[in-house]
Amino acid sequence: MAQQVKIFTGNASHDLGEQIAAAYGMPLGDLSIQRFADAELGPSFNESVRGCAVFLIQSTNPPAENLMELALMVDAAKRASAYKVNIVMPYMGYARQDRKDKPRVSIGAKVVANMIQSVGADRLMTCDLHAGQIQGFFDIPVDHLDGAAVTVPYIKSLNLDNLLFASPDVGGVVRTRAYAKRFGAEIVVCDKMRLRANEIASMQVIGDVAGHNVVLVDDIVDTAGTICKAADLLMERGAKSVRAVITHPVLSGPAHDRIRNSALEELIVTDTIPLREENKKIKVVSVAALFAQAMHNVVSHESISSLFI
């Protein structure tokens, strides 16, 4: 007998949660999240989840309370006798803290993994982790979906000639090459040197971009300093046009103004994180159908390897 499925969403991903539920073919479940006077959170399910396969949708972008809210939702579901509690985390916060790059620092991604598992989650479904190896931080199944499944069709619809893909830094070469392979295109690399986090000292382009329509590829755009500097530099080197395709639009601080004032023709993002403000240069493509299909396959015990990276 198939398990009954129920889908709930936290505050950080409410709009996307509604779209995923609609694409799955069912309404969102009834969940209340009380906020106490001292800002503590108290989620409660207003319907039975006993024996159900529960999906909890929540990206854990800042503020950090989004992660705490998710942990409390998992705990509430487990204590309400849910059969399985599956986390759908379109964007995993702290994923950039995936290693010790200097002495005496935390590994934030591992802390998040431990936290999720400690409250009893049975499965994690996410998209475009900053580093694929983060899956190894978990001892539960991790479904690592590929954002290119929704962004590649949009790029193809633009019918760009002389297409060339660019990595905004050396660390993104593997991701960019995988993207370019879908188009049979070549890649170039923007090599940057940082003085400190979110501050670039210098950048140079490795490869010829003259006369090409260039698409920058990355997983996260935060302050947009790197992507905008890369776009400006590519245009200086003779590119015909520059676009960027990014999965997770964190877009902190001056990011929107930088994008508006940059040489970028267009910034293509997904809705793993909701945009905080309107921006005519930003095109949003939805991952709702991608996650809904993965959820269907998990429930029916079918393979979802075609949705992986």
Alpha helices in the chain (DSSP H): 14-24, 65-79, 108-118, 148-157, 173-181, 225-236, 255-260, 288-299
The whole-angstrom separation of Cα 103 and Cα 174 is: 27
Structure-token pair, residue 63: 């503020």
Q: Which of 59, 116, 98 is nearest to 249 (CA)?
A: 59
Dihedral (Cα; 171, 174, 176, 177), 10-degree rounding: 150
Residue 162 pairs with which residues in a beta bridge? none
288 within 8 A of 296, measured Cβ to Cβ: no
Q: Which of 236, 126, 226, 221 is nearest to 168 (CA)?
A: 226
Alpha helices in 141-246 (DSSP H): 148-157, 173-181, 225-236
Structure-token pair, residue 169: 């830094």
Structure-token pair, residue 286: 């939805």
CA-based max dimension of the chain: 62
Alpha helices in 237-280 (DSSP H): 255-260
Torsional sign, CA 69, 100, 227, 219 = negative
Structure-token pair, residue 151: 């962004």
As a residue count, the chain comes to: 309
Percentages of the chain per state (helix, strand, coil), in multiples of 5: 35, 30, 40
Catalytic pick among 192, 240, 280, 283: 192
Is 192 marked active-site? yes
Q: List residues with catalytic annotation.
A: 192
